[in-house]
């Protein structure tokens, strides 16, 4: 699962991997979606995203983690 931002159009998109839903419990999938929503908010507000201070301040409120576990190698 990943979040993508196009600065020329300000479009924010999510890529959802079916494997994460199939191989992990529903709660983990939901947690990962919340994690990616923080990145979308960062792109919207700042034009960039990371796992730093602006990210960390939302993890408790959204019941997610600052860093998600990898379930496969990135492409």
Please tell me the predicted confidence (pLDDT) of residue 18.
76
Q: Burial of 37 by CB count in 10 Å (0-12 exposed, 13-18 middle, 19+ buried)?
A: middle
Residue closest to 3 by CA, chosen among 63, 53, 44: 44
Domain boundaries, the chain: 2-59
Sign of the torsion angle spanned by Cα atoms 75, 10, 56, 17: negative
Please tell me the predicted confidence (pLDDT) of residue 69.
66
Q: What is the pLDDT along the chain (75 residues), one digit of tens a residue?
A: 788 899 999 899 988 777 777 777 777 888 888 998 999 999 999 999 999 999 999 999 999 988 876 655 555
Q: pTM score, two decimals?
A: 0.77
**Number of other residues whose CB lies within 10 A of the CB of residue 17:** 14
Please tell me the predicted confidence (pLDDT) of residue 29.
82
């Amino acid at each position: 699962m990943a979040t993508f931002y196009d600065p020329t159009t300000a479009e924010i998109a999510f890529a959802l991997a079916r494997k994460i839903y199939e191989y992990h419990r529903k709660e983990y999938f939901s947690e990962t979606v919340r994690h990616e929503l923080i990145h979308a908010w960062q792109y919207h507000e700042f034009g960039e995203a990371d796992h730093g201070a602006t990210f960390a301040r939302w993890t408790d409120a959204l019941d997610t983690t600052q860093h998600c576990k990898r379930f496969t190698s990135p492409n």
